[in-house]
Structures are given as C-alpha cells and as structure tokens.
C-alpha cells in the first residue's frame, strides 16, 4: 500500500520527462493514447460506410495558389464528408475556406487534414536535407523542422510530407537531395530529429504538424538511379539498410508514412503487404496511417498487378495503404468492396481509426481554423534568418584547402585593397538557391553569394569584380574572356559552379555527374591564369569533380544552402564561421563507380582490405574493381576538412572479450573511448565517428558500419575524452536465420575522423 503513491509519483515524473523529451507526447496530443482512442470509437460508431471511405480520400488543390481548385465536384465531395485530406493548400485563407465547407457542410463535421511538402522550410528556407545532414547535427535539423512547423501551421498546414528517410547510395538519383545520405545509423538519427521538430512535445500544440516518413520503402535503391524505377532488395538488406530510419521515425512517434512508387522485388510498395502490414503494423505496432504517394494507387495498374481500378484499390488497401493521394480510387471502390466481402470491415475501421487518431491528436476538432494574417502574409524574420544562416554554415563541407604561399588558401586574407573576382553562373542566382521543394519561400529573400560578398567587399575596401562566365548548362564560351580578365585583375578568385536548383529532387535523375555544360572548361580557363581559386560547388548531389579536386586549391561543397546562402558563405570564406560539415554520401571519382558507399561488403577478392583480411598474397589483377579506375571514392563518407586540425588517440575498449548472448539479453555492453585533440592554431569542431566491423559471423558484414558520432568543439591544444556505448542495438544484425541478434565472432572498432581513417581495436565476441 505504501508503495503506491511513490509509484504514481515516479510514473508521473517519467511521463513528464518523456513529454519534455518529446518521446511520449502527453495524452491529449498523442494519437496512441487511450483518451484519443475513446474519441475515435465514439465517432466511428456514428459513421456510415461511405463516410468512412470518405476519410480515405485525399485530393490536391489544382495549383499552389488560388483556393478551391479541388476536382470539379470537390465542394460537393467535401460536404458529403468524402474528403479526408487535402494537399497543396498553402495559405490560411485557402485552408479556412475548405475547412468551413467540411465543418459547416458535412454531417459529422470532421475536419480536413491539410498536407504539404514542407521539406526544408516553409517561408524561411534552410539548406536542402542532404546539406543539413552534412552538419552531423540532428539537434540543428530538429530546430529547423520546428521553425518550419511553426510557419506552416500558421497557415493551417498541419501535416508535412517529410522527412524523406530513404537511404541513397546512388547520386544519379535526384532525390538523394531530399534525404540524409547513405547511412542507416545517421539516417535514423536525422529521422528522429525531424519527427521531434515537426511534432513538438505535443501534436495538439497549434504550432505542431504531423510528420510523414517517406517513401516506404526502398525508393532510394531504384535501378540505375532512374526515378520511379524498380528495386531488387533482399530481405536482409531491406531490414538492415532501408527500414531502420523508418523504424526510428515510427519509434519517435511519426503519425504518418507515405508508401513509395517503386516495386520491391516485383511487388509495388503501395501494394506491399509485407512492408505495410507485416513489418509496419505487426512488428512495429504502428498506430497512425499510411498515405499513398501521388497517384501511386492508380499506378499499380501500370506496374501490371491490377487490370482495373477496383483491383488496384483492393490490392493497395488490403496491403495497408490507408489514404489515397489523388487517385480517387479508394473513394470509388472501397465501399463496394466492403459490401462484396472483399475488404474486411475491420480493415476499413483500422484505416479510418488511424486517420481519425491523427486528427484528434492534432486538436483539429477543437481548433479547425487558423487566424488569417494580414494581406502581406508570412514574412521572413530575423530569428529565421539567423537559424537559416547557422544551418547553412554547418552544412558546408571543406573538401580541399591547399597551401598557397605561406598557408592554406582558406580562410581568405581580408584587407583593404585586396582584389577579389567572383565568377560563375551560380554566384548570383537567387532562384537556384531555393533547391527543390521551396514551398512558400520567395527568391527575393534568397541572399546570393554575390550580394553578400559585394557588401563585405565594399565595407572592407576590397575591390570586387564579377563575371558570370557561362550558364549552368552553357554551351558557348563567349563569356570566358570577360571572366579570365576578371581573374587576371584579382588577387584571389571565388568561383560558384554546380547544378541548377532543379537538377536534383523528383524526376531529376542524371546519367552524368560532372559539372553541367561547359563549367569545367571555364574552371580550367580560370585556373590556367595562375590565380588562387576557391571553388564553391552548389549541388543537390555529389558531383564527380576529379579535375577540380586535383587542380583547385580550395573547394567548398555548399549544396543548396537556402535563403542565407550568401552571408553563410562569406562568413565561412573569411573565417568567421568554420566549415565543420562532413560528407554523408561518398563523392565518386566518376559516374562509372556508382553505386558507391562506404559500408559495402569485403568480397572474397578485395583490392585492399582495411584490416588486412584480404587474401594472403593480394593479386594485382584478379581483384574486384575496375582496370581503369580506383575503387575508392574521390571523397569518402564522413570526410571533411577544418580550418584547424585534429588527432585521435588510439581507441580503447572496456573489455577484450564479451559474450554475444549477454549482449543479446541486454546484460552486457562495451564502452569505447578515445581522446580527440585540436592540434591546430584555431578553435574548431570535429565529428568523432565510431565505426565497427564484425567478422566470423553467419553472414558477411560490411567493411565498416557507423555506430556512433559526437561533435566536439575544441580550443587550440584542447583535447576531450569521448566515450561511446556498444550494446545490442549497435551489434545485432539480421543473421543467416533472419534473426536480429549479435553473434560470436570478432569485433573491430574505430574512432576516427572519417570512414577510411584510424586503427581499430579488437574485441572477441564469445558465445
């Protein structure tokens, strides 16, 4: 008896703590709570079959502006209660108009859920997700997501089709820009961070929006990098590589997932009962709902697994898709399929429950409308600018910084009279800085490199000349002479080259990974002047810049940095900000190396084995690889330079051996430690990366796998002792029996600055 109050207190404290950390939203704002379930039960009991099916229907406004462009009879559908969700309504006026029709006009007054692709900001634009992931700073991603949620929700948009958590190992695929790169561990950390940021501590906070982890699943593995293509993924690779970030998002409380376009081993993702029901619902106990990707339900007919819309509806719905984006197929078929006994009534209830849970949890029934702002609408704010600038600065990866004269070229020496030439088609292109999915951001808010550098140059008495040189996909050299003349007259040249903002993202796969058009030729012409060149690469994907890498002394990978591109770059160029980003994707030397990723298998004939476990006498010829190119990437996963330098002490482990079964039972774990030291003369931030390799296991494991990382800011000469934990989550893998367990064998552990560095410590994993 005495223990009860204590237990209640402890439970209360745990709940409060969980609510604070966002892990377990408090009752009212939680779609998994009993309170929400009671409300869902009550409403479901009042719904007709048609009204239930209506909730499964999601329509798009016809364009990104102008209200009321739903399908011809959209108003009528809304009044009948046959529209559960609308996408692409972007202003408070628009969402309110539709909402009034639903609340005022329909029998049960069920509010509409408005969704939008809020991918890297709403009005305030942050770096593209691939760029932001290079910060290796999930907390920063969480802050940007929170900011975007506040802006979007103010317009009635309470649902974002983000984060994209697709693992991408192929930079030809344009959508690599939208995710966190090639690694499932890092991808999972970012997946969690975005969900926390969007959904906040409580979903019923009017500034929270529900997340949608997409595209479920395997979309990043499309054949040849061609968007929408097919995938062949073994169950082990699916579970070990592609599913973990989705699982992380679901564990973090993501309310929705989006089913993908691609077929997995012949079965379209949007009709895939294995992924949508077995894994998502049965194994992960997902309680939210699954939205199809745009017309993905209709497309299963094109894939060839349904001859008519009715069969498409049957297959997708029974497999586990709950809401139909834009196909109009569920609306027209599910009621009849239920009556015919082809769709169980319980399946319909399950789907409607998921949708209603999310709507209740968001507080939409209590607060369906938003306050309409003044005609001027949402504006950029100083706080948003500051966050956008910091996010951009943290996303930059310094690829090269060679000595020019007495020291490295960057940071640039400043001083009155120092002449700078700025050259390239991306130096002053506000539209390209938007990248893909720019939502309500306006190009007028994008501060370009040229505009920020002009400001800095004029305040610092540094003459600045500018020449575009060529276009992004330029074919004529007519602008070269002006550019060469500008370079000749300068002390240092900054070049802004890369892709257009629309060359990555959806339907933007590339067969080539070089700088488009004649940009490399322009670069060669400028380097030939002998002037020191800093190359800033804007791009939504890794580009094969082997020539630049060999000939240009300083290279910054800037991705698409968002609205504060210019100020962030200028501060970095002059050393007020440090480039602390690290690659989250391998940069290939040439497109022929693709797919290329650090966590590959060793094979029986590796060219080089990082722990010397190749054949006894490595044969120079009969090894895996190319006869005309190296196997290694131009820049590896985890790589990035700093304005200072760091060293790592030998890695230490808490035990020389540990029992695999104790690890599996959660009774044992390892502590891994190393000291990182700033060996340079400037303060700086290093990202210590923990990698493992397992050998002697029932299936071959990758040559390295990321299992931890820590960012540390160090003063010159300062060192920090870092500790990492290796337990079941880090050591288990899907073994030969398809069990997710740690196995006996050897474990190698590195703590290093990237995926190619360091010397491992060895641990025996005993029975």
Nearer Cβ to ligand BGC (196/214): 214
> Of the two residues 94 and 117, which places its CB atom closer to ligand BGC in the complex?
117
Q: Least distance from C-beta 340 to ligand BGC, angstroms?
A: 31
| SS3 (DSSP) at 667 | coil
Query: Which is nearer to ligand BGC, 60 or 154 (by Cβ)?
Result: 60
- Which of the residues 117, 293, 428, 432 is marked catalytic? 293
Residue whose Cβ sits closest to ligand BGC? 161
Using the Cα atoms of residue 307, residue 311, residue 312 and residue 316 in order, give the sign of their dihedral. Answer: negative
* DSSP letter for each residue of 425-437: TTTT-HHHHT-S-
Of residues 294 and 643, the one with the C-beta less far from ligand BGC: 294
Candidates 52, 146, 214, 390: give the one binding ligand BGC (CB under 6 A).
214
Cβ of residue 326: shortest distance to ligand BGC, in angstroms?
8
Nearer to ligand BGC, 136 or 294 (CB): 294
Task: In whole angstroms, give the CA distance from residue 725 to residue 670.
Answer: 6
Q: How far apart are CA 470 and CA 497, in angstroms?
A: 10
In angstroms and rounded to an integer, the radius of gyration of the C-alpha atoms of the chain is 27
How many angstroms separate the Cα of 122 from the Cα of each of 58, 148, 559?
A: 21, 5, 18
- Chain Cα centroid distance, residue 484: 38
Which helix (DSSP H) or strand (DSSP E) does residue 361 occupy?
helix 345-361
> Other C-beta atoms within 10 Å of 338: how many?
18
| Number of chain residues interacting with ligand BGC (CB under 6 A) | 7
Nearer to ligand BGC, 147 or 159 (CB): 159
Distant-in-sequence, close-in-space partners of 304: CB < 8 Å, separation ≥ 6? none
**Rule CB under 6 A: which of 697-756 touch ligand BGC?**
none
**Would you tell me the crossing angle of helices 244-251 and 184-199 to the nearest 10 degrees?**
30
Cβ-proximal residues to 752 (8 Å cutoff; 6+ apart), any chain:
638, 648, 688, 689, 691, 758
DSSP annotation of 37: H
Residues 6+ apart with CB under 8 A from 667: none
Q: How far is the CB of 241 from ligand BGC (least distance, A)?
A: 20
**C-alpha dihedral sign at 264, 269, 271, 275:** positive
Closest C-alpha to 436, from 521, 501, 533 = 501
Q: Closer to ligand BGC at the Cβ: 216 or 750?
A: 216
When the beta carbons of 61 and 106 are compared against ligand BGC, the nearer one is 61
Residue selected from 235, 336, 477, 506 as contacting ligand BGC according to rule CB under 6 A: 506
**Any contact of residue 589 with ligand BGC (CB under 6 A)?**
no
Smallest distance, ligand BGC to C-beta of residue 85, A? 11
Residues 6 or more apart in contact with residue 253 via CB below 8 angstroms: 22, 23, 24, 25, 30, 32, 195, 199
- Which residues between 277 and 306 bind ligand BGC (CB under 6 A)? 293-294
Our measurement of the distance from residue 552's CA atom to the centroid of its chain's CA atoms, rounded to an integer in Å, reads 30
Q: How many CB atoms lie within 10 A of CB 713?
A: 13
d(CA 571, CA 704): 35
H or E element at residue 765: strand 761-766
One character per residue 75-114, x = contact with ligand BGC (rule: CB under 6 A): ------------x---------------------------
Q: Tokens at residue 295, please? A: 């017309």
C-beta of 87 vs 331, nearer to ligand BGC:
87
Provide the edge-to-edge strand list for the sheet that holds 324-325.
159-160, 113-116, 85-87, 57-60, 324-325
In angstroms, give the least distance from the CB of 31 to ligand BGC: 20
- Whichever of 116 and 545 has its CB closer to ligand BGC, that residue is 116
Residue 293 annotated as catalytic: yes
**CB nearer to ligand BGC: pick between 114 and 360:** 114
Peptide bond preceding 411 in cis form (omega within 30 of 0): yes
> Distance between CA atoms of 765 and 767, rounded to whole angstroms?
7
Any idea what DSSP says for residue 112? P
What the block records as the tokens of 619 is 């044969």
**Selected binder of ligand BGC within 101, 117, 183, 394 (CB under 6 A):** 117
Q: Identify the helix (H) or strand (E) that includes residue 711.
A: strand 705-714
Q: How far is the CB of 87 from ligand BGC (least distance, A)?
A: 6
Q: Which of 114, 161, 289, 724 binds ligand BGC (CB under 6 A)?
A: 161
CB of 293 to ligand BGC, least distance (A): 5
> Mind telling me the catalytic residues?
293
Binding residues for ligand BGC (CB under 6 A): 87, 117, 161, 214, 293-294, 506
């Amino acid at each position: 008896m005495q223990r009860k109050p204590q237990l209640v207190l402890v439970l209360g404290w745990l709940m409060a703590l969980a609510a604070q950390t966002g892990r377990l939203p408090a009752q009212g704002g939680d779609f998994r709570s009993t309170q929400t379930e009671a409300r869902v039960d009550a409403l479901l009991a009042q719904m007709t079959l048609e009204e239930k099916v209506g909730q499964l229907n999601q329509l798009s406004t016809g364009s990104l502006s102008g209200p009321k462009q739903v399908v011809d009879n959209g108003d009528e559908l809304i009044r009948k209660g046959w529209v559960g969700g609308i996408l692409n309504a972007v202003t408070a006026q628009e969402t309110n108009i539709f909402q009034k029709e639903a609340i005022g006009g329909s029998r049960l007054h069920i509010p509409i859920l408005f969704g939008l692709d809020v991918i890297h900001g709403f009005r305030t634009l942050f770096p593209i997700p691939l760029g932001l992931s290079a910060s290796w700073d999930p907390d920063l991603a969480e802050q940007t997501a929170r900011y975007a949620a506040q802006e979007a929700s103010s317009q009635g948009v309470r649902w974002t089709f983000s984060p994209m958590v697709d693992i991408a190992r192929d930079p030809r695929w344009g959508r690599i820009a939208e995710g966190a790169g090639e690694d499932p561990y890092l991808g999972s950390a970012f997946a969690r961070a975005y969900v926390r940021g969007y959904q906040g501590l409580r979903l019923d906070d009017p500034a929270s929006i529900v997340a949608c982890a997409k595209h479920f699943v395997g979309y990043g593995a499309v054949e040849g990098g061609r968007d929408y293509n097919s995938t062949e993924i073994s169950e082990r690779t699916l579970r070990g590589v592609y599913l973990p970030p989705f699982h992380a998002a679901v564990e973090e409380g993501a309310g929705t997932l989006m089913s993908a376009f691609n077929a997995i081993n012949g079965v379209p993702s949007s009709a895939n009962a294995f992924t949508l029901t077995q894994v998502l619902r049965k194994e992960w106990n997902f309680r939210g709902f699954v939205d199809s990707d745009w017309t993905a339900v209709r497309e299963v007919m094109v894939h060839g697994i349904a001859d008519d819309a009715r069969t498409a509806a049957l297959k997708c719905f029974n497999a586990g898709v709950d809401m139909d984006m834009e196909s109009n197929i569920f609306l027209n078929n599910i009621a009849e399929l239920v009556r015919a006994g082809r769709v169980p009534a319980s399946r319909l209830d399950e789907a409607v429950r998921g949708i209603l849970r999310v709507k209740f949890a968001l507080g939409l029934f209590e607060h369906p409308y938003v306050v309409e702002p003044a005609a001027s609408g949402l504006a950029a704010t100083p706080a948003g600018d500051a966050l956008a600038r910091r996010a951009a600065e943290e996303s930059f990866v310094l690829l090269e910084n060679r000595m020019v004269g007495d020291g490295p070229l960057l940071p640039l020496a400043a001083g009155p009279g120092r002449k700078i030439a700025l050259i390239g088609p991306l130096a002053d292109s506000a539209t390209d800085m938007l990248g893909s999915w720019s939502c309500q951001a306006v190009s007028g808010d994008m501060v370009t490199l040229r505009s920020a550098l002009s400001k800095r140059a004029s305040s610092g008495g540094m003459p600045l000349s500018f020449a575009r040189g060529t276009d992004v996909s330029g074919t004529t050299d007519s602008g070269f002479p002006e550019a060469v003349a500008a370079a000749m007259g300068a002390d240092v040249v900054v070049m802004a080259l890369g892709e257009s903002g629309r060359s990555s993202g959806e339907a933007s796969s590339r067969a080539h990974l070089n700088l488009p058009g004649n940009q490399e030729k322009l670069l060669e012409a400028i380097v030939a002047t002998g002037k020191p060149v800093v190359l800033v690469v804007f791009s939504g994907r890794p580009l094969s810049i082997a020539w630049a890498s060999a000939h240009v002394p300083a290279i910054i990978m800037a991705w698409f940095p968002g609205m504060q591109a210019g100020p962030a770059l200028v501060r970095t160029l002059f050393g007020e900000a440090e480039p602390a980003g690290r690659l989250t994707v391998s940069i290939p030397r040439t497109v022929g190396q693709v797919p290329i990723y650090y966590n590959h298998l060793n094979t029986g004939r590796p060219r080089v084995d990082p722990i010397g476990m190749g054949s006894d006498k490595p044969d120079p010829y009969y090894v895996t690889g190319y006869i005309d190119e190296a196997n290694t990437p131009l820049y590896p996963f985890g790589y990035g330079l700093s304005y200072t330098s760091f060293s790592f002490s030998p890695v230490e482990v808490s035990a020389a051996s540990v029992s695999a079964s104790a690890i599996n039972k959660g009774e044992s774990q390892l502590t891994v430690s190393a000291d990182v030291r700033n060996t340079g003369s400037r303060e700086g931030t290093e990202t210590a990366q923990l990698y493992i390799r397992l050998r002697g296991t029932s299936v071959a494991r990758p040559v390295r796998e990321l299992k931890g990382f820590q960012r540390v800011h160090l003063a010159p000469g300062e060192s920090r002792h870092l500790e990492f934990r290796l337990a079941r989550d880090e050591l288990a893998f899907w073994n030969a029996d398809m069990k997710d367990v740690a196995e006996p064998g050897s474990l190698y552990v590195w703590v290093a600055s990237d995926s190619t560095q360091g010397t491992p410590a060895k641990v025996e994993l005993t029975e």
